Amino acid sequence: MNRLQKNCLNCDKPLKGRIDKKYCDPRCKSAHQYKIERERPERFFNKVDNQLRLNRRLLKEYNKAGKAIVRQSLLMEEGFDPNFFTHYWKNQKRDVYLFVYEYGFLSKKENGNDKYVLIKWQDYMAK
């Protein structure tokens, strides 16, 4: 009988059973697939999604009351990246707030310090 695969792809032990078998048991199959996935470079979509989720978590964490002012350096130290946002809103003063889902931020200089004004999306902003 001629086998397609003679040894387990993960542990290299001889295989018994079906002719097209690739792994000796489910644990070896899982370990091999995990190893392959780790070696694969992170996809662009995953990088963007991870950064958006981190940005949202930080904006939510520092904006408990619905509006707050925070030093930019504080958020940046925790991994915040202002280049990743989902949409924007322009107020009557022509200030442009960038939003990560329902949490927004506006870059502002106050007393010589770079700060973010943090807000939460409100229904009137949809107009």
Flag whether pLDDT at 127 surpasses 80: no
45 versus 41: the higher-pLDDT residue is 45
Instruction: Round to whole Å and give the CA distance between 22 and 7.
Output: 7
- Joined tokens for residue 61: 């964490």
Going from the C-alpha of 70 to that of each of 31, 44, 117, the distances in angstroms are 44, 29, 7
| 73 lies in the same domain as 119 | yes
Q: Is the dihedral of CA 21, 27, 31, 33 positive or negative?
A: positive
The two most distant CA atoms of the chain are separated, in Å, by 81
Total domains in the chain come to: 2
| 10 lies in the same domain as 52 | no
| 104 lies in the same domain as 72 | yes
Query: Tens digit of pLDDT for each residue in 4-40?
Result: 668 999 999 999 888 889 999 999 999 999 888 888 8
Domain interval for residue 58: 44-126
| 96 lies in the same domain as 117 | yes
- pTM (2 d.p.): 0.69
Query: Tens digit of pLDDT for each residue in 56-90?
Result: 999 999 999 999 999 999 999 999 999 999 999 99
